[in-house]
Amino acid sequence: MTLNEHDRTIIMDSIRDIHDFPKPGIVFKDITTLLSDKNAYGVLMKHLHDRYSSYNLTHIAGIDARGFIFGAALAQMLGVGFIPIRKKGKLPYTTVSEKYSLEYGVDEVEVHIDAFSNVENPQVLLIDDLIATGGTAYAAASLINKVGATCVEACFIMGLDFLDGQKKLSEVVPVYTVIGVD
């Protein structure tokens, strides 16, 4: 199930472009205006609910921090658990981590070692607001599988189609972007 044109327009019209942020030449897609628009946010969340209600998910995993906004709400709507995937050092219990490359270095994400231990054969949807180069998402999907769950799909509200992140990530998990941006 994909987004229809009417609903796509509602969502896109609610997202603000910020030029030259965080540096000159970048057009930042600001989702805070989507979140504050109850109609647009409702359209988005209904779409996500309708898309994933037949997936037999046990959990939604959201990537720190904007993935928490969509993931926790969707988990509640679907009646499944929510698992945070955080930057290194932010989770209080024993964790498993996965490193990924940045333009100038390496970063790391973590999940609790027992995040999915409350169910047999955990089926997990990974969610975040945006996929660009895909490094963080690739690491997060790997983490989910590393701790004994199955990442069944990775979902992003927006995908930067002119970058290779979606292609790279689709090598390990199916990828769905609600809205592609050229």
Residues with active-site annotation: 66, 103
Do residues 84 and 91 lie in contact, with contact meaning Cβ atoms separated by under 8 Å?
yes
- With tokens 């995993």, the residue in question is 61
Q: Catalogue the E-assigned strands of the chain.
A: 16-19, 27-30, 59-63, 81-87, 95-102, 105-112, 123-131, 150-160, 175-181
Rounded Cα distance, 28 and 6, in Å: 23
Amino acid at 80: V
